[in-house]
Amino acid sequence: MTNNTSETRTVVVEREIPHPPEKLWRALTQPHLIEAWLMKNDFDPVVGHRFNLRGEWGGVLDCEVLAIEPHRTLSYSWNFSHDDDAYDLKSVVTFTLTPTGAGTHLRMEQAGFRPSQRQAYGGAKAGWQQFLANLEQVLAGLD
């Protein structure tokens, strides 16, 4: 018998990006570029580095770099403390870059949404679509 209260959901968004992994990596790891497509931050691409993402809505996400494999994988915690269990999120975001003939296949996964967090899960599904659209605009402007 499964305990449904411990099951979590994952948001996955995949895109074909017409740029090489190295260029995409820059946008995923350089603070000024992260700010341009995601949020204000104090990111440093070092495993164990704790940083914050500050949303325009006033929220602050507590994050920690969990894994880095340059030009291939970036993973960090994405935690939002809130008194309401529906918004008190402890999740992990992972970006996986795979070179293709036309550029890079980008896979973004955010894992850890509890069943009681339907609204946060829905918000992440919509939010990541917008974030990745912003990312593509940033990439288009890079040399």
> How confident is the model at residue 124, as a pLDDT?
95
Q: How far apart are CA 54 and CA 30, in angstroms?
A: 15
Note the pLDDT tens digit of each residue in 37-80.
Answer: 999 999 999 999 999 999 887 889 999 999 999 999 999 999 99
Confidence at 87, pLDDT banded by 50, 70, 90? confident
Region 92-104 average pLDDT: 97
Cross-strand bridge partners of residue 50:
64
Confidence at 6, pLDDT banded by 50, 70, 90? low
Structure tokens at 8: 């979590």
Q: Taking the model in full, what pTM does it have?
A: 0.93
